[in-house]
Amino acid sequence: MTATLDLFDDGGDEPACLPLGEGAMVLRRFALPDEDGLLSAVQQVTAQAPLRHMVTPGGFTMSVAMTNCGDLGWVTDRTGYRYDRLDPESGRPWPRLPEAFLRLATRAAAQAGFDGFVPDACLLNRYEPGTRLSLHQDRNERDYGQPIVSVSLGIPAVFLFGGATRSHKAQRVPLAHGDVVVWGGPARLHYHGVLPLKEAGHPLTGRCRINLTFRKAG
Ligand code: MD3
Ligand code: FE
């Protein structure tokens, strides 16, 4: 009986709010109604602060292309990881956080129980097929009590959600266009990463995935 049902299971009865445990909440397709406004804001930001492949302190060029908007932007170079008010490529402040970004991030945080979340940093990551992000912790923010809100747009990815140590076995969480995840509580310091993306295309983004992460960094 379940076998028959499974054949027709399209995931349509998945809960809209899925707790990943440890304070992490997946809001499936939460950003879908705002897709056009979000993607036009992405175009505005990347026109002012182009996507670039940064270098890690260890000397590796990241396969993810990145840029930022908001008061603070996350950067890495041979000297280390940090938040900076200026784009090192231009010497100018990062573009302002677009209204559409701010509204969505605040609404998603509130939905997950974090009222009054006001991000001052948005890291914009672009993945193409083959791009990956190896397991890491996000530890450059001042207050770990603040959540991180992430928004996935474009082609799908498999997110790796690990534990408090690197050796903890990671869960695989598929993330699709419009999915929003709010990471708070103990999950905030868990190891995480993204598996290499499979070849795919999306009608709105082409052969890429855009991930936005909103933080209160300062
Ligand atoms: C879990 N980005 O930018 S977003 C990153 O898909 C980053 O681009 C990934 O990891 C991406 O640092 C994942 C989801 C995410 C972001 C921050 C987290 C998950 C997190 C911080 C703590 C725990
Ligand atoms: Fe991260």
Q: List the domain boundaries for the chain.
A: 5-33+98-215
**Among 4-8, 174-178, 184-188, 199-203, whose mean pLDDT is lowest?**
4-8
CA 105 to chain centre: 11
Tell me how far the alpha carbon of residue 159 lies from the centroid of ligand 1, in angstroms: 9
**Among 16-20, 22-26, 90-94, whose mean pLDDT is lowest?**
16-20
Q: How confident is the model at residue 5 (pLDDT cuts 50, 70, 90)?
A: very low
Whether residue 6 is predicted with pLDDT greater than 80 in this model: the reply is no
Whether residue 9 is predicted with pLDDT greater than 50 in this model: the reply is no
Is 87's C-beta closer than 6 angstroms to any atom of ligand 1?
no
Residue 156 and residue 179: Cα distance in Å, rounded? 10
Whether residue 17 is predicted with pLDDT greater than 80 in this model: the reply is no
DSSP state of 216: -
Q: What percent of the chain has pLDDT over 70?
A: 92
Residue nearest to atom 4 of ligand 1 (CA): 150
Q: Counting Cβ atoms within 10 Å, is residue 56 exposed (0-12), middle (13-18) or buried (19+)?
A: middle
User: Across the strands, what pairs with 77?
Assistant: 80
Q: Are strands 148-154 and 157-161 parallel, antiparallel or unpaired?
A: unpaired
Tell me how far the alpha carbon of residue 158 lies from the centroid of ligand 1, in angstroms: 12
Whether residue 8 is predicted with pLDDT greater than 70 in this model: the reply is no
Residue 48, helix vs strand vs coil: helix
Whether residue 3 is predicted with pLDDT greater than 60 in this model: the reply is no
Closest atom of ligand 1 to 193 CA is 10
Tell me how far the alpha carbon of residue 102 lies from the centroid of ligand 1, in angstroms: 18
Q: What type of residue sits at position 217?
A: A
Which position has the token pair 């890429």?
Answer: 208
Q: What is the pLDDT of residue 77?
A: 97
The dihedral of CA 29, 35, 41, 43: what is its sign? positive
Closest atom of ligand 1 to 148 CA is 17
Which ligand places an atom closest to the C-alpha of 73? 1
Q: What is the mean pLDDT of residues 82-100?
A: 98
Threshold 0.85, pTM exceeds: yes
CATH of 5-33+98-215, one of 3.30.70.260, 3.50.50.60, 3.90.230.10, 2.60.120.590: 2.60.120.590
Whether residue 121 is predicted with pLDDT greater than 50 in this model: the reply is yes
The dihedral of CA 42, 191, 218, 18: what is its sign? positive
Q: What is the mean pLDDT of residues 163-182?
A: 95
* pLDDT, tens digit (0-9, with 9 covering 90-100), for 129-159: 999 999 999 999 999 999 999 999 999 999 9
